[in-house]
Amino acid sequence: MLFKQAVVLAAGEGERLRPFTASKPKVMIRVANKPILQYVVEALEQNGIRRILFVVGYKKEKIMDYFGDGADFDVEIDYVFQEHLLGTGDALKQAEAKTDERFLVLSGDNVIRPDTLSDSDLLEMTEEDGNAILIKAHKDISKCGVVTLKAGMVEDIIEKPRGDISNLVNTGIYAFGKDIFEVIEAELTSTLKTMILRGSSIKACETHGVWLDAVYPWNILRLNEIVLRTNPTEMEGKIERGVSIDGKVTIGKNSVIRANSYVKGPVIIGENCDIGPNACIFPSTSIANDTVIGAFTEIRNSVLMDGVKIGSFSSIHDSIFDTGSYVEGGFIARSEEADIEIGGEHHVVKIGALVGEYCEMGSNVIAHPGTIIGNRAKIKSMKELSGKIPDGCWVV
């Protein structure tokens, strides 16, 4: 193993993922009941890289409280701080004093697996090989940096390209030597482009392993679906009489699946959850710890964070509920194609409801497809919701 250290960039906010990044950085959004950043840590550890330097900034205490010194994850974690979010190059610059002569750089906000790194020759890059970038073939290049190659070397990196230039994208994973700090600019991509213009060679290493990015809230559902496919089956909770379980299902400690409920995997249910009776949990659903799902409720292709409570006779499809949100009985979040505006961009996507943290909703509330409910909103019973409801809003 040529690399002993990795620098993980985890300072950003993820503004387009609001309301889910209002109180936490993008890297701490959970996919299949784990923060995105944890997948990066686990991939490094399983490839023998156990010294990790986090560059943190926005809501950094959320990261530091969860990961600590890394002992719980069999790694050693140290921290440096990016006070102002001035770009990925500036973030890496903050780590200069603590880096080895050779080190990896990874973005903390992409889900990766161990084979994302081991599937390529990136980890075998020597000092003589110089700097390198990990690339991957990708269907949707519209929000990515596209890499063009010449004889296995990077020819150019084009951000958010127009037209069919290449299907190879920059994963935000690099192998660098200390010389990178002599030329570093605000952004790493512009740094690499400048190096190429000056005659430096940047090797391209291609991976066929998992690399998943969440740019918009509905991307969380897609990531969750893909990760759940590879989750193991584990049954640690209590299963009452008449319960039917089909496919890959994980049930955590002290959770109860009550009588006559139906769970069809892939599904993950955390610890201390109470599901049913007569509830139906359908594929691609993640239910985090301390969550309660009432009787005769169905959940399909959705992500429920810690401490969510869903009342009886509810129906929730293609939706996300952030930590601590509560709805009384009869809540409906059906999914259809909807036009959603984020950051001035309009997207037509099939989606249910996107619900922020600690919302409170009464009984028989209907959320039309694409409804975004801000954090700590309070909504009275018998309301129909659509569009965007701001943080802290009361709907009476």
Cβ-contact 11, 246 below 8 angstroms? no
β-pair type (168-177, 131-137): antiparallel
Cβ-contact 133, 211 below 8 angstroms? no
The residues that bridge with 212 in the sheet, in sequence order, are: 111
Average pLDDT of the segment spanning 113-119: 88
Structure-token pair, residue 199: 């005659």
Distance CA 221, CA 62 (A): 22
pLDDT at 1 over 60: no
pLDDT at 120 over 90: no
What is the model's pLDDT at position 129? 66
Residue 165 phi, psi (nearest 5): -95, -50
Distance CA 112, CA 106 (A): 10
Superfamily of domain 218-395: Hexapeptide repeat proteins (2.160.10.10)
pTM above 0.75, yes or no: yes
Q: What is the pLDDT of residues 219-243, one digit of tens each?
A: 999 999 999 998 888 899 999 999 9
Average pLDDT of the segment spanning 248-256: 95
Structure-token pair, residue 151: 């004889």
What is the model's pLDDT at position 143? 65
Cβ-contact 292, 326 below 8 angstroms? no
The residues that bridge with 149 in the sheet, in sequence order, are: 154
Distance CA 282, CA 301 (A): 7
Distance CA 6, CA 133 (A): 14
Residue with the bigger pLDDT between 167 and 191: it is 191
What is the model's pLDDT at position 43? 94
Instruction: Please report where in the chains the tokens 């081991």 appear, as a residue.
Output: 118
What is the model's pLDDT at position 167? 78
E-assigned strand segments in 98-201: 102-107, 110-112, 131-137, 145-150, 153-159, 168-177
358: left (phi over 0), alpha (psi -120 to 50) or beta: left
Q: How confident is the model at residue 71 (pLDDT cuts 50, 70, 90)?
A: very high
Q: How confident is the model at residue 212 (pLDDT cuts 50, 70, 90)?
A: confident
Question: For residue 69, which amino acid is it?
Answer: D
What is the model's pLDDT at position 374? 95
DSSP string, 7-49: EEEE----GGGTTTTSSS-GGG-EETTEEHHHHHHHHHHHTT-
Lowest-pLDDT range, 51-65, 120-134, 177-191, 236-250? Answer: 120-134
Q: What is the pLDDT of residues 128-159, one digit of tens each?
A: 667 888 988 877 666 667 777 777 777 777 77
Which of the following CATH numbers is that of domain 5-215: 1.10.10.10, 3.40.50.10300, 3.40.640.10, 3.90.550.10? 3.90.550.10
What is the model's pLDDT at position 299? 97
Distance CA 169, CA 277 (A): 46
Residue 223 burial (10 A CB sphere; 0-12, 13-18, 19+): buried
Q: How confident is the model at residue 77 (pLDDT cuts 50, 70, 90)?
A: very high
Helices (H) and strands (E) in the chain, counts: 6, 41
Residue 254 burial (10 A CB sphere; 0-12, 13-18, 19+): middle
Residue with the bigger pLDDT between 13 and 77: it is 77
The residues that bridge with 371 in the sheet, in sequence order, are: 353
Average pLDDT of the segment spanning 111-118: 90
Distance CA 264, CA 285 (A): 9
Query: What is the overall mean pLDDT for the chain?
Result: 90
Distance CA 369, CA 332 (A): 10
Domain boundaries, the chain: 5-215, 218-395
Q: What is the pLDDT of residues 157-172, one digit of tens each?
A: 777 767 677 778 888 8
